[in-house]
Amino acid sequence: MDAPVSGGDLGAQQGTLVTMTGGSEDAVESVRELLDIYSLEVAHMGAAGAGQHTKLANQMMIAQIMSGICESLLYAEKAGLDHDKLIKLLSKGGARSMWLENCGPKMIRRDFSPGFLVEHFVKDLGMVLDECRRMNLSVPGIALTYQLYQTIMAQGK
């Protein structure tokens, strides 16, 4: 079975990770008590490998959300907007996300301490692109986002 998680270092510290499992239901149930110790939720997603596919779908979403937040905050800066007011307001509307609420203020403070290492993100997005090639699926947004994260890694960030 496979059982990747989402929630980053904060989720691990708080025991609120989301665990995506793949494998037989019996296998998942045999370790559920252990998974429940550190997981807010454990979901059986299907056969072995389904947990990993779920994790990759998660990483695709996060990567593009984070890129959008970065570009939005840069735009707001150039437009002379108050970042704190912007985040407070947008967090109540359609752009609301955990990433905007938690990472947006850190970005404004120029606090780029990692919650998830860029090397792991590049690895995961590389796996996404490999799987998409195997599935004959075009994902141009992720391809560009992957290149941006590779640049960050190459710069030693």
Which active-site residues does the annotation give? 55
CA angle at residue 109 from 65 to 142, to 5 degrees? 20
Q: Where are the alpha helices (DSSP H) in 7-114?
A: 8-14, 25-38, 50-78, 83-90, 98-108
Query: In whole angstroms, what separates CA 115 from the centre of its chain?
Result: 10
CA–CA dist 66, 93 (Å, integer):
17
